[in-house]
Structure 1
Amino acid sequence: MSAGLALARAGEAAQPRLVVSLHSDTVRLSDLFSGLEPGQDCTIGPAPAAGQRIVVAQAQLVAIAVQFSVDWQPGFRPASVVVERKGRQVPREQLLPVIQAALVGLGAPADSEVALGAFVAPMVPAEFTGLPDVEQLTYDQSDGKFGAQLAFSTAGSEPVRIRITGVAQEMVQVPVLSHPMGAASIIEPQDLQTIRVRRSLVSDRLVLVASDAVGMALRHQMTGGSLIPHDALTRPLLVSRGMPVLLRLQSDGLTLTMQGQAIDGGALDDRIHILNGTSRAVLVAQVTGAGQARVDPGAAPAMLAATQAGLPPASSLPSLHGLSSQGPLASGPGGLDQ
C-alpha cells in the first residue's frame, strides 16, 4: 500500500473526539468517535450525572473500539475523550412558589411563608427550563410541617428527584415603629411602618392596627422595628404636675378664664385637681387640651383647702410664679375665683 493511500484511509478512519457535551442519560458510540460507518452507532453506557464529567482514557477507547469494531488505531499521542453532562442548580427561590401553591391546595393559608429544612440546591440538566412536579406531598395543618418530593423532568432523561421538608407559617401584617423613639414620644402616622410576621408571634397583647397606636405616647423607649405591646402605650399627657393651666368656665354665653396650676397630670378628658392661684382653693377640672382645662358650670364652688381635699397643703405646692397676685383674667364681668 502506498503512503498516499495509507494517509487517505487514515483520514477516513474513525477518530476519537476531544470534549463531548451530552443532553441525554446515555453515551453513544458516536459521542466518542467521529467517522463511524453507517449503522455502527449504538448506546454503549450511562451518561454522567448532570453537572459532572468523565474522562475516557486511551486504554478504554481501544477496548471500546475493539468491542464495537471501530476502525481506529491510537497514534503516537495519547488519546482521551472528556464526556460531560452540563447542569445547573435550581435555587431555593424558584422552588418556594411551587411548593406554596401545592400547599394551598391542601389547606395551607394563602398568605404563608414557606421555610425549608436542610436544603441543598438540586443539580438538574442545563436544558431544564420548566417547573418541577410536586409528588407525594404531605401537610400537617396543626403545626404547618410538610414533606414533598420534587421531580425535574427533561426530554430523553429520567427525572431528577429530590426530597424536601419544611414548615408553612401563616403571615399577618402588623404595624411597628419605623425608627427609635423615646419615652413619652407621641406616635404619628409617619412613625409607623407595616411588616409581615408569623401569626404565631402575634397575640392580643400587641397592637395589630396602626390607628390604635397613632396619637398614643410611649411609656418607655423603644427601638425601630419593634412590635408594639398595648401596655407600652398610654394617652399623652396634655397637662403635667406643676405646669400652668388655663381654666375656662362657660355658662349662659359667658366665658370666664383664669390661670391655675396643675396638682395632677392628665390626658385628654381626664379630671384633675388644679390650684386656684388667687383663692388657694382646689378645683376639679377636665383636661381639654395642652395646658387647658374646663370647670363644669354646674359644679359647686370648691372652696376646700388643699389639705381638706386630701391633697398636699398649699405650702408644699409649687410656686405660681406671681400668678396669684395678678388676679383672675375674665372675658366677662367678674373672674373665676372659686
Structure 2
Amino acid sequence: MIKRITRTLLFLAVCVVLTPAVWAKPILQEHALIEGDIIHLGDLFKNAGDKADIAIAKAPAPGARIVLDAKRLTSIARAYKFPWRASSRFAHIIVERSGKPVPQEAIETALKKALREQGALENMLIALSSRESRVYVPMDRLATVAVKHLEYNKRSQFFSAILVSPANDSFAKEFRVSGKAHATVLIPVLRERADHGDILRKRNIQWVRMRTDRIGSNVVTTTGDLIGNTPRRMILAGKPIQKNEVRQPILVEKGKLVMMTYNTPYMTLTMKGRAMDKGSRNDMVRVMNVHSKTVVDAIVMGPNKVSAYAFDTVAMQGETRHVR
C-alpha cells in the first residue's frame, strides 16, 4: 500500500515538472531574428517542441525582413499539423535576417580601381546616386566587393556599374550603382574651431581633399594665407575657409599709445603718438602726436609701432633725434 502511494506521488511530481515543457501551448512571437537562409518553425513559435527544427520557408535576403500574416501562418500550421490557431486575423510575425553591411569604403575602393583602369583621374572622389540602398551579406561571409561590369563616360565623368559582394564568392549578390567621379584638390582647413583673435599656427591646420566643383575662387588653398593670421569671426573645423574670413592680427589698437618713428638718410626721429585707428601690419592708420596734437598718416610696422612718412614742422615737435 505504501509503495503504491509512493509511486503515485512520484508520478504526480513528474507530471508537475514536465507539464510546462511538454504540454505548453505554442505562442506566436512578435519578431524573429535569424542568421541562416532557412526559416524554421521554432523561429516563429515558442514551445514548438519536437517540430521546432522543421524548415518552413526560405529566409529573406541578409538585412531584409518579411511579414507572415495570420493567413500564411494558419496555412503553415495546417501543413505541418502544428497545434496553433490565430487569435485574430491581425496575428502576424516579422521575420528579419541579420546581415553584415557592405562598407561604403569597400564599394568606392573597388569602383575607383576600375575607373582608373578606364582613364579616370587618380585623385578622384566618387558621388554615388542617393537612390542606391544599403547592401548586406550573410554574417558568415566577408563584406568584400568586386566590379563585374563598368560603363564610364570620360567626358561627363558619369558611370554605372554592376558590383558583386562578397567578391569571388559563388553565393555573391549582384547590385547596381551609378554616380559621378569628381576631380579634387587638397586645401588647408582647421583641426579645431578658431575664434576671432586666435592666431593661427601650423599645428592648427590639416589638409583635406575636396571636390573642385565645391571650391570657389575665394577659398584658401595655401597655408600662407592662414599661418600668422586671425579669423574675422569664428571658423569651424574641417570647413573650407574663404580668404575674406581671415586677416592679419591687429597690432595697433585705436586709442592706444604707439611709438612713431621717422627715418631720413641722416637721422631717426621717434615720438609718442596715439592711434586714431586700429590696424594690422602694413595698414595705414592715423596717429596723433601727443605733444603737438597733430594727426599724421603712418604705416603699422609691429605691435604698437608705426612708421610715419609725412610730417610737417608742427608734427615733429617733441621728437627725440638719433643722429647717425
TM over 0.5, yes or no? yes
Q: What runs of 5+ residues in structure 2 fail to find an aligned partner?
A: 1-34, 41-49, 63-98
Deviates more, 1:128-137 or 1:262-271: 128-137
Choose which of 37, 47, 58 in structure 2 pairs with 1:52: 37
Opposite residue 234 of structure 2, the aligned amino acid is Q
- CA displacement, residues 148-206 of structure 1 (integer Å, 9 cap, x when unaligned): 11356768x58753323333333332112222222243322222222222222211111
| Contact in 1 for aligned 2:281/2:300 (Cα 8 Å) | yes
- Count, aligned residues: 239
Match of 2:188 among 162, 169, 175: 175
| Secondary structure in structure 2 of the residue aligned to 1:245 | strand
Deviation at 1:130, TM superposition (A): 11
Q: Per the alignment, do residues 158 and 242 of structure 1 end up closer, same or farther by CA in structure 2, a change over 3 Å counting?
A: closer
Q: Compare the two structures and name the one with the higher helix fraction.
A: 2
User: In the TM superposition, what is the alpha-carbon distance from 1:281 to its structure 2 partner?
Assistant: 1.9
CA shift digits 1:78-113 (9 cap, x unpaired): 9x997x99x985723433322111112233222223
Residue in structure 1 matched with residue 225 of structure 2 by the alignment: 212
Structure 1 SS opposite 2:114: helix
8 Å CA contact 1:258, 1:330 repeated in 2: no
* Distance change in 2, residues 1:125/1:216 (3 Å): closer
Alignment root-mean-square deviation, CA: 3.9
Structure 1 residues 234 and 119 mapped into 2: Cα distance closer, same or farther (>3 Å)?
same
SS in 1 for 2:185: strand
Q: Which one has the largest radius of gyration?
A: 1
Q: Match for residue 266 of structure 1?
A: 279
List aligned pairs for 1:187-336, cutoff 5 A: 187-252=200-265, 254-296=267-309, 299=310, 301=312, 303=314, 327-332=318-323
Q: Distance in 1 between matches of 2:193 and 2:145?
A: 45
Tell me the CA shift for residue 328 of structure 1.
Answer: 4.1
User: Would you say the 8 A contact 2:261–2:270 is kept in 1?
Assistant: yes
2:147–2:162: 8 Å Cα contact kept in structure 1? Answer: yes
Whether the aligned pair in 2 keeps the contact of 1:151 and 1:161 (CA below 8 Å) is: yes
Aligned-residue sequence identity (percent) comes to 23
Residue 121 (structure 1) aligns with: 135
Q: What pairs up with 1:96-135 in 2 under 5 angstroms?
A: 96-116=108-128, 117=130, 118-121=132-135, 123=137, 133-135=146-148
Deviation per CA, 1:9-49: give whole Å up to 9, x if none. Answer: xxxxxxxxxxxxxxxxxxxxxxxxxxxxxxxxxxxxxxxxx
- Matches of 1:188 and 1:302, distance apart in 2: 44
2:253 touches 2:278 (CA, 8 Å); kept in 1?
yes
Determine if contact 1:180/1:222 at 8 Å carries over to the other structure.
Answer: yes
Task: Give 3-state SS (helix, strand or coil) of 2:203's partner.
Answer: helix
Q: Which amino acid aligns with 1:176?
A: V
Q: Residues 106 and 145 of structure 2 are in contact (CA less than 8 Å); yes or no, is this contact kept in structure 1? A: no
Change over 3 Å in CA distance of 1:213–1:154 after alignment to 2: closer
TM-score by length of 1: 0.57
SS at match of 2:251: strand
CA distance in 2, matches of 1:119, 1:262: 63
Mapped contact 2:300–2:306 kept (Cα < 8 A)? yes
Cα deviation, residue 143, structure 1: 5.4
SS in 2 for 1:94: helix
Shift, 1:248, TM fit: 1.6
1:236-265: CA deviations, max 9, x gaps? 322222111101223345333211111222
Question: C-alpha distance in 2, partners of 1:186/1:329?
Answer: 34
Check the 8 A contact 2:277/2:285 in 1, yes or no: yes
Corresponding residue for 1:35? none
